[in-house]
Amino acid sequence: MTMNQPNGLLVIDKPQGITSFDAVAAVRGALHIKKVGHAGTLDPMATGALVIAFGHATRLLNAIVEHDKTYEATIRLGMGTTTDDAEGQLIDVRHGGSVTDMTQSAIQQVIEARFTGDIEQVPNTFSAIKINGKRAYDLAREGKAVELKARPVHISEFTVLAVRQGYVAGECAGEPLQMADWAEPQNSDSAVPVMDVDVRVSCSSGTYIRALARDLGQELGVGGHLVRLRRTRVGRFALPDDTSGLIGDEDMTATENHTVSAHSETKTFTNREGETVTRNKCVLDTPVELSGDERRAWLLGRALSMEQAARGAMPSLDITPEEAAELRFGRRIERSVDMPAVAIVPQTHDVVAIVERANSHQAKPATVFPAE
């Protein structure tokens, strides 16, 4: 029996230790559909909101990718790493500063003076940016020199939520913080004083939070890197724990009931070369008693509909059934639009097309969706 192709969107709460592609593969397998994609990669180290579209809704992903985002993160001040996060090698980049002299208010003042509004940011060399067709992180791992240009980004909020002072042994990145009063002497001469700073950042698409951690540490003269990263919001799609206050109650109601959590499990298999490989896979947290078509139906029940996905992805334009027919024939309609918008028939919830400005009084179809 052939099942109808579903169309919609899920907000997956991605766990640590899996890739965004792993999460896409989990949704693809659970829904039994090939056409699945995500709106913006999260590193394996990061957790949080991963917007995954399926069916015709995948055509909305390019718009969602450009949305602003909110992250909650922990920046460790006092040492840097080669990757600007906890997965790199420790490097000493201190130059005159001392974490023992810092306060939460002083750090916030530096942030507001240097790292809010429109700023220029140089991405880390271990990023996914392409240079002559190759990823920067591949070039960096090959030992080749990687020079990335500064790019403009916008930081609408960069708030210090809490600070914790303590020590680490300084043997590797990501060590647990040993809470202690800096005034208390340490038994080990190798103990390194550090400060973990919890922050919330709302920013434009393309912003690297790792680079913010690095640059804040450099500005303070002590070095810094990212030890925790959680994305709580992508545009109007947010997790229930988002505290940015940047989406309204209507958006929250539409999103929090459609979030699906997940966890990672270890999978061991033999590859084509006969080698035994162990890696993490993404497992969606569905009711344990469900499997097969019942599990698929449960997930579809948690998904945002095609109309909800479209209205969350971009500006919407309510049209008549007659205008819908014109757009589906590739014709213009007498509507004025200043930016791309999704045309929807509200009576039938039919998502018809993405339209764009043709002239001062007409809109033309840029992308037409098949009738469901």
CA distances from 265 to 22, 189, 197, 281 (A): 11, 39, 30, 5
Burial of 238 (0-12, 13-18, 19+ CB in 10 A): buried
DSSP string of 77-119, one letter each residue: ES-EETTSBTTS-EE----S--GGG--HHHHHHHHHHHSSEEE
Angle, alpha carbons 238-127-56 (nearest 5°): 45
Rounded Cα–Cα distance for residues 305 and 27 (Å): 16
**CA-closest candidate to residue 177, choices 168, 186, 185:** 168
Catalytic residue (one of 43, 215, 242, 350)? 43
Residue 12, both tokens: 């997956």
Catalytic, 43? Answer yes
Phi-psi region of 272 (alpha: psi -120 to 50; beta: other; left: phi over 0): alpha
Cα–Cα distance, 305 to 91 (Å, whole number): 48
Q: Say if CB 295 and CB 30 are below 8 A apart.
A: yes
Query: Beta 224-234 vs 47-54: how paired, if at all?
Result: parallel
Phi, psi of 268 (to 5 degrees): -115, 130
Angle between helical axes of 292-302 and 20-31 (0-180°, round to 10) = 120
For 148, half-sphere exposure in the C-beta direction (CA atoms, 13 angstrom radius) is 23
DSSP at 175: P
Instruction: Give 157's strand partners.
Output: 202
Active site residues: 43
